[in-house]
A and B are shown apart, each in its own frame.
Chain A
């Protein structure tokens, strides 16, 4: 083959492939516009005032609205008694969110020059920014303590080409009373099986706070296993409690933890089931949800938990009794990261 012919083939291929690439990018960007159009049959959403003040406007659910339209990704509220009712959108966007006692934690993306960056923003009861912290990676979990004084969040940290496809998590804690900020739980002392434990592969995620505004539970992963750890913010210690526990969520009365665990025989892409752990007796009870749940559940009261599952527009919220009875029901479509107020 002559050089001219080969160059001709190459140029043709470059043109064709460039065309395919451009079409793909243009299609993807027009699809992004489409998401700004309200979908037919979706929930009714109107802009309005959203408050995190307890007792303000009765019992409410505040969550990230996933429904397409101009208010996509905004913090939105509905009365807890009418989850399918009209939504009020705040104009404040968050990827992950949680709130309690008038304090909110919002993990959001910030458009950057080339790459988006992420920030953790502490919000007051009127969704005004109190403080802001840069994040090392992609937001995944956020929690506020029942009293609204402590805040925790987790991000996925992925290295680049040279680090391969390894991911790790980083969990940070903030005390809004003192402003004391712990960038990583990995700085705490870990006690595993009665001994101080240190390892390079330690990862933490999914903090859930106790009512004393001091102790908490979280997930520790090391050596290919996950553990429930009990944390003490004053002593700065983390003590392993139990194996095969992820994303714990402490009940309001502090007696039980709902968590996800890997069950043998489940498919590798859907390995988790929700369980309830009675802290006093150590008994585990499977919840009535038969699907794999990859979320940190939220307690609506001492009897029910809510969690997300993939839906047509990102995620839908489901509720199931925490004692293993009953059956899951869909609480609301196109919603993520709920917090129950009041």
Chain B
């Protein structure tokens, strides 16, 4: 694995680490950066841990504690809002102190701490508080982690790096529930055993992060080879203002507008699964498996579509992903009872995630200078998350007012229009290759200060 101690000094021994320094273009077949593999492993392990809990939580509340789990949905929405704000903070603080790894570690650590706390929480509000803390950890770590991935890969390999990371992440989500139910089979009512094993797995994830993810301090214009990182940090600390002013960068602004616009027409997963079940009449007992279908498609397609994005352009793949979603809406609207329809919808839904989730980050990374990477990615992610949240509320209201079908038709029309607008907006990777070293080019005072 990557030797963290040699960070900043491109030692000949670490040839597999694609150089982050500008101007060095490694071969197209270069292996994935060890940092990306390490972060992917951390995400995989952490997702195993958290999905173990998610999978047994309803069962635990009803069968284990005798509580009604209704009403959780409402709390869930509030937590998501908190998570979006924490994400902005995580991205900014990671940049400010040049400590993406530390911030990500704090986030992973906070979530890991929540797993043993579940052993102590026996009431709905207490469990809700633990889950809120868990989400805070998730919010805190996401932007710094994506910043680390983008900083560890070269611009031309970024789609593949994010694709590999998302595939590993989703693999964890697929393994977690299986592990949880295997434990419950071995030990009837063994929810505490599930939570204990989940704690151990989470701790392992944090340890892998601490041991094997290098503390990237940014190898941008300010980092002289071999310099002491702490001194660097003291020199260039992006202010909050600078982070906010990131939106003055036209390329980032275009990407953010596209993410927002398309996010506003992205019907939330729960609705998609509900519509799928209603239109096709899938038996109730398969309902809980529908998300696994999407996850499986996401897992299989994330890396290939990430690579494709590197080759033919991230914008094309990103928009293609939304066309896949549009097609999925279209299939739902046909109301056909064809046996292949659920598979096709789930495949398209998973393809939508594979073509957009990591690809958006890869594209956004190209529009933000390294010293603002965390805050820049956080802005795009938060914008997208809030847009999807709004869409979810609006879709629910439309369903109530007009019924499911007209609501979906509206969403499909808006999605088609937004995709067309974004195709014209060209949130292009044309400036992708050079933005990594053009920090001061756009004349924004913030960028100029940061890059001195």
Contacts and interface: CB of A to CB of B under 8 A. Distances in A.
Contacts of B290: 159-160
Contact of A24 (B124, B188, B193): B193
Contact of B57 (A14, A165, A169): A165
Interface residues of A, number: 63
Contacts of A25: 183, 186-187, 190, 193, 197
Contacts of A50: none
Interface stretch (B60-68, B91-99, B327-335): B60-68
Interface string A154-166: 0011111111111
B74 A163 contact: no
Interface in B43-91: 51, 54-55, 57-59, 62-63, 66-70, 72-76, 80
A158 B69 contact: yes
B30 interface: no
Given A29-B190, A114-B178, A160 B55 contact: yes
A160 B125 contact: no
Given A138-B59, A159-B270, A166-B270, A199 B399 contact: yes
Interface in A152-209: 156-170, 183-184, 197-201, 203
B193 A158 contact: no
Interface in B284-331: 284-285, 287-292, 294-295
Interface string B398-437: 0110011000000000000000000000000000000000
Given A156-B69, A164-B270, A224-B74, A269 B126 contact: yes
B224 interface: no
Given A17-B204, A135-B284, A32 B274 contact: no
Contact of A28 (B181, B192, B291): B192
Contacts of A29: 186-188, 190, 193
Given A200-B404, A224-B74, A294-B68, A32 B187 contact: yes
Interface stretch (B160-168, B205-213, B245-253): B205-213
Nearest to B212: A6
Given A17-B203, A138-B59, A28 B72 contact: no
A18 B66 contact: no
B181 A114 contact: yes
Nearest to A157: B287
A170 B70 CA distance: 12
A329 interface: no
A20 interface: yes
A18 B80 CA distance: 32
B34 to A, nearest CB: 11
B336 interface: no
Contact of B269 (A24, A135, A163, A198): A163
B73 A167 contact: yes
A19 to B, nearest CB: 9
Nearest to B68: A294
Interface string A30-49: 01100100000000000000
Contacts of A17: 200-201, 203-204
A139 B65 CA distance: 14
Contacts of B76: 164-166
A324 interface: no
A268 interface: yes
A17 B112 CA distance: 13
A241 B267 CA distance: 33
A29 B67 CA distance: 23
Given A140-B62, A163-B270, A200-B274, A158 B181 contact: no
B177 A199 contact: no
Contacts of A157: 284, 287-288
Contact of B196 (A9, A24, A114, A267): A24
B126 to A, nearest CB: 7
Nearest to A9: B211
B448 interface: no
Chain B facing A: main interface SS: helix
B235 interface: no
Nearest to B407: A200
Contacts of B193: 24-25, 27-29
A198 B399 contact: yes
Contacts of B73: 165-168, 201
B288 A18 contact: no
Nearest to A170: B284
A198 B403 contact: yes
B57 A10 contact: no
A328 interface: no
B204 A159 contact: no
Nearest to B183: A25
Q: Select the residue from B76, B80, B188, B283 with max chain A CB neighbours within 10 A.
A: B188
A136 interface: yes
Contacts of A165: 54, 57, 72-73, 75-76, 131
Contacts of B292: 160
A117 interface: yes
Nearest to A16: B200
Given A9-B211, A167-B72, A200-B400, A136 B287 contact: yes
A264 to B, nearest CB: 16
A55 interface: no
Interface of B: 1, 3-5, 51, 54-55, 57-59, 62-63, 66-70, 72-76, 80, 123-126, 131, 173, 176-178, 181-190, 192-193, 196-197, 200-201, 203-204, 207-208, 211-212, 269-271, 273-274, 283-285, 287-292, 294-295, 395-396, 399-400, 403-404
Top 3 A-B residue pairs of the complex, sorted by shortest distance between their CB atoms:
A136-B284, A28-B190, A158-B58
9 contacts: A24-B197, A25-B190, A28-B190, A134-B284, A156-B68, A157-B284, A157-B288, A167-B70, A167-B73
